[in-house]
Each structure stands twice: as structure tokens, then as C-alpha cells.
Amino acid sequence: MTSGTLTPPRKERAAPDAPRPARRSRRKPFLAPYLFVAPFYVVFAAFGLYPLVFALQLSFTDWKGAGEANFIGLENYTYLLTSEEFWSSLGNSAVMWLLIVPLQIVGGLAAAVLLANAKLRLRGMFRVAFIAPFVTPLVAMAQVWIVAFDTDYGLVNHLFNFVGLPDVDWLQSTVWAKPTLALLFLWKTTGFAIIILLAGLQAVPGDVYEAAALDGASRKRQFWSLTLPLVRRSIAFLVVVQTLAVFQMFAEPFVVTQGGPYGSTTTGGLYLYNHILASDLGTGAANSFLLVLLVFALSLLSVRLLRSRDE
């Protein structure tokens, strides 16, 4: 290099390019979640939503199951709301509810407390004994009920005669037919109630009872101040489910009493079946929606009465 002369800078050799990481696809699987849940919606639309919409449309028509359905507006609803038989069926269901649900809640809660806390021998056997009627076919139990409560040859009347009591027309009397069916329903479903209440009791932490015992609370005070408030949701759930079951009761009166005597055991579910049997499908659909509205109102009232103040 001579003075006064600038030499260009030497170009450095570029290093070979490092391998670039592979680009991840930013495309999210948009359809994958919907494809996974699609079978549920397809089945629900086919067997749930479509029959519901079709029954609602059918409730405004006069249709016998064949031919063209004639639109008649609210005539089916006005007929039912002015029908003495419809209100009688609802009255029978209400009496059955009074005979079943309060007794089942009290008895089921007492049995659940004993199974959860008391040191009983053969506790597992008692649990199986309570749940066995619930999983037994209802028609088989109904046939046993018919034989056991027969007026002339039933076991119950034989036991009454053994202790000096007269025969009772259990299934032929308007006074005793509903209590007999209520007893069948209690025998069938009380195991389910015990399981629900027992699950609610076992979800309560034991520290709560230990702290109450240290504060001097007695067993009675613990039950009223801790057990009942903490299982309030289980009780509310049971009341809603059993209300729905009682007002839709069909198999028990259909098999045991056929709705008699003199319609005293014709429940809301059996009265609905009578419309279907007579091919009066429009009135039957309207009857079903009235039952849904009634059960929904009763369930909502039960939940509001049983919920705590903090909810």
C-alpha cells in the first residue's frame, strides 16, 4: 500500500448458512373438536330435539296416527284444562307425592347416616339389601305385590288374621289402593335415595364434625346445624328427580291396579297413556307438555325452598 491510496476492505468469506428450524404450521385444527362432539349432537337432534319439536307441533293438531293432522289451535289444551279426569289424575299424583317423597327423604337420610357413621356389622350387606330392589325389574316386583296384597290369599292379610285383625281390600279400595302403590314405589326406589344421600354425606369433610365436637356440639346439634345444611343440594336433587318420577308414574298403576278402583290410582302418566291407547295423539302430546310444565314449576319451587341463603 502506498501513501494516499485507499485499498478496499477485504471481503470476509460468508459462513455457510445454519440450518433453519422447520416452520410449524400455524393452522389450527379448526374442525377436529367439532368432529369429536358431532356424534352427540347428531343423536340428540335425531332422538331428542326432533321428537320434542314434533310433539309440540302435534299438540296443536287433531291426529289419530294416520292421515292428515288437522290444526285446531289450543283446543287440546282447553279440553284438558277443563277435564275433570285430567285434574283427578293430577290430584292422584299429588297424593302419591305426599305419601312418597317426604317419607323417602326422612327415611333415606336416616338410613344414610347410619350407614355412613354407625359401626354396624355387615354394613356392606345392608347396602346391597337397600339397592337390590332398585335394580330388580319393576314388573316382577309388581307381580309380587299383587300376590302379597291379594284380599283372599295374600300374605299381608294372613298376617293380619294371625294377630286378630280383619282383611283389608288393599287393591280394591279407593282408600288403600294409593298407599299400597306408594309402598311399592318406596320399596323400589328408596335404595336410590339412600345412595344419593350417602354420597352427599361422604363428601362432607370429617374436620367439620371434629371442630364442632371440640366446641361442645352434641350429635343432635351436629345433625341439625351441619349435616342437613351440607347435604341440602343432595336433598334438592332427590326431590326434583322423585317429583318427576311420581308424576310420570305409569308401570306401577298399570300392572297392579290398572288405574282403579274407580280411577283412584290413575296417575298423570297413566292418564297420558290412555290418550295414546285411544289414538288421540294430539291430546296426548298436549297432556305431556302440561305435565312437563307442572313438574318444572314444582321442581323450581323445591329448589328455591331448599337452597341455602348464601346461594
Cα(109)–Cα(193) distance, integer angstroms: 8
Cα(69)–Cα(61) distance, integer angstroms: 6
- Count of helices and strands (H, E) across the chain: 15, 2
Out of 102-111, 131-140, 241-250, pick the least confident: 131-140
For CA atoms 297, 298, 303, 304, the dihedral sign is positive
Instruction: Name the CATH code of domain 84-306 (choices 3.20.20.100, 1.10.3720.10, 3.30.1490.100, 3.20.20.150).
Output: 1.10.3720.10
Residues 160-189 pLDDT 10s: 998 988 888 998 888 999 999 999 999 999
Q: What is the mean pLDDT of the chain?
A: 84
Q: What percent of the chain has pLDDT over 70?
A: 87
Residue spans in the chain of domains classed CATH 1.10.3720.10 = 84-306
Predicted pLDDT at 1:
46
Residues 2-48 pLDDT 10s: 445 555 555 555 555 555 555 555 555 677 888 888 899 999 999 98
Q: Is 0.85 topped by the overall pTM? A: no
Residues 65-97 pLDDT 10s: 777 888 888 999 999 999 999 999 999 999 999
